[in-house]
A = this chain, B = another copy of it.
Amino acid sequence: MSDKYTIGVDYGTLSGRALVVRVSDGKEMGSAVLDYPNAVMDRKLNSSGAALPPDWALQNPLDYVEVIKKAVPEAIRVAGIDAKDVVGIATDFTACTMVPVLQDGTPLSELPEYRERPHAYVKLWKHHAAQPQADRINQLARDRGEAWMPRYGGQISSEWELAKGLQLLEEDPEVYNRMYKFVEAADWIIWQLCGTYVRNACTAGYKGNLQDGEYPSMEYLGALNPEFARFAVDKIDHQIGQLGERAGGLTAEAAAWTGLSEGISVAVGNVDAHVTAPAAKATTPGQMVAIMGTSTCHVMSHDQLSEVPGMCGVVDGGIVAGLYGYEAGQSGVGDIFAWYVNNQVPERYFTEATAAGKSVHQYLTDLAAREPIGAHGLLALDWHSGNRSVLVDHELSGVMLGSTLTTTAEQGYRALLEATAFGTRKIVDTFNASGVPVKELIVAGGLLKNQFLMQLYSNITRLPLSTIATDQGPALGSAIHAAVAAGEYPTVEAAGNAMGKVNSDVYQPNEAAALQYDRLYAEYDLLHDYFGRGANNVMKRLKAIKREVHQ
């Protein structure tokens, strides 16, 4: 009897990656990537060449199907397996990324009459043009004391379904009215694979405001805009599927695209960060998974429902069925380090890094690591891209304090590394204080390669730190969900334990270092609250002036 395999497809912002995984042990057999032909449309609409307003970000949904057609068969070829041995397929997607569709799933952007209508296209997660709508949504929810608000840390994002939907209604009511459903791309791609629309519990909860089986009320939505009253009922409500469930069988058409067998299991859609938890064998309470890249997403399951101030959301079954899934985030991490390297580091560091055979990031890290804790005399706030958790405020900005005439570029770099670790500690402390204790940090994402940074996080959070043992965390996580949907494992946890990969307890907190960092964290905490909680709104005022003069 031959080995069985599943395929996980990870849909990122610019490309999709298919990974073939052995069901018995999670061995990664082969993978392939396809860059989306239309990439992200954030300056102009490709069909017409017309300019898009600021903060728009669209995609063409047909690009997602191209990933199935090209990357899946290529991954099978690279893996050197027989496609007949693949028993299931699953995907994970960016979220909230929304496709307006007809009743048969056809994207409105495919209708000849709407090809040049921006609102007919996919609104990508980072489409931020619905901020005015989000502001109204938050204000009204606060004024009315909407019960679902605390489930989202007290504030919802312009990226989410309500804001995107309200913008669509108000700016292009014709497209809005023509739309049968506003569908998460995470679910739309599953619909293309199995012919059935199943709404996954994860995005319905985190991005669609579904709590305890209910969406925001018609009264509330109608108060935002009378035409919006039935938005939830008409445009987003749909049968919910739990993560790891089977959404349907692969259609004959999708089988023909891929070479896979018709009828194999297609799992319910899912989200990149959330599938990574089982890929790192981290689905039990107390295990916080931090996916650290340009930004950091924190996901964690717990058996109790708690309201954690400033989290992104808590959703029943949001990570694994049967537990409450909590999500938090830091909106800038790796991209802050990249900004610093590109804009605040002199040439000599690049030259020396090249001579030493290191990346400039590693070189700066190594230089900075030589000094004892606090020797730089610096303290930074990691808010260059705003603060997602726990302040939920994108009007905040970065700070570097303590510079002298002898401060070096590597010292500034280290202060930024530390600031992001302090930001994580603030999230961990808030979870702990809210009845959701964090016992271990499991890191996935590109930054886990920086060993100094990992030890720093362990010291500053006083948590043991494990690292995922694959570069393909999300795709592996999807393959795990595919195996569960195919009935190969009874639960996502069980599949994760068999197929996931983690190096456990690689870093342990050093108590002497932790004590010293406590002193710096106390300073971070003080400035965090001073600038972040209204004592001095200088950051907001500076941003207001900036917007004003740029007009």
Which residue numbers of A lie inside 8 Å of B, CB to CB?
332, 335-336, 339, 342-347, 350, 371-379, 384-385, 397-405, 407-409, 412, 516, 519-520, 523, 526-527, 530-531, 536, 538-539, 541-543, 545-546, 548-550
Contacts and interface: CB of A to CB of B under 8 A. Distances in A.
A404 B385 contact: yes
A346 B373 CA distance: 27
A335 B531 CA distance: 29
B374 A549 contact: yes
Contacts of A384: 403-405, 407
Contacts of A339: 405, 407
A399 B399 contact: yes
B397 A402 contact: yes
Nearest to A344: B344
Contact of A378 (B350, B375, B542, B549): B542
Task: Please list the 4 inter-chain residue pairs (A to B) with the smallest Cβ-Cβ separation, ordered nearest first.
Answer: A347-B347, A398-B403, A374-B545, A377-B546
Residue picked from A409, A527, A542, most chain B C-beta under 10 Å:
A542
Contacts of A546: 374-377
Contact of A539 (B342, B344, B402): B402
Given A347-B350, A403-B397, A539-B401, A375 B549 contact: yes
Contacts of A336: 405
A536 B401 CA distance: 12
B409 A343 contact: yes
Contacts of A523: 538, 541-542
A414 to B, nearest CB: 13
Given A346-B346, A401-B539, 12 more contacts: A332-B405, A343-B407, A346-B347, A374-B542, A374-B545, A384-B407, A397-B404, A398-B402, A523-B542, A527-B536, A527-B538, A530-B530
Contact of A530 (B376, B404, B536): B536
Copies per assembly: 2
A371 B409 CA distance: 26
A398 B404 contact: yes
B377 A545 contact: yes
B400 A542 contact: no
Given A378-B542, A538-B523, A549 B373 contact: yes
Contact of A536 (B342, B403, B407, B526): B526
Given A339-B407, A412-B344, A401 B549 contact: no
A268 B342 CA distance: 55
A408 to B, nearest CB: 6
Contacts of A350: 347
Given A343-B408, A526-B538, A549-B373, A400 B400 contact: yes
Given A409-B343, A536-B530, A542-B523, A372 B549 contact: yes
A401 B399 contact: yes
Contacts of A346: 342-347
A377 to B, nearest CB: 4
Contacts of A342: 346
B543 A377 contact: yes
Contacts of A332: 405
A342 B412 CA distance: 14
A62 B22 CA distance: 85
Contacts of A542: 374, 377-379, 401-402, 520, 523
A336 B379 CA distance: 18
A400 B401 CA distance: 6
A156 to B, nearest CB: 22
A384 B527 CA distance: 19
A83 to B, nearest CB: 43
28 contacts: A335-B405, A343-B407, A343-B409, A344-B345, A344-B346, A345-B346, A371-B549, A374-B542, A374-B545, A379-B542, A384-B404, A384-B405, A397-B401, A398-B401, A398-B407, A399-B400, A399-B401, A400-B400, A401-B401, A401-B542, A402-B542, A402-B543, A516-B549, A519-B541, A520-B545, A523-B542, A526-B538, A527-B538
A512 B356 CA distance: 52
Residue picked from A350, A539, A541, most chain B C-beta under 10 Å:
A541
A367 to B, nearest CB: 13
A539 B378 CA distance: 9
Residue picked from A377, A412, A526, most chain B C-beta under 10 Å:
A377
Contacts of A343: 346, 407-409
Nearest to A376: B546
Nearest to A527: B538
Contacts of A404: 384-385, 397-398
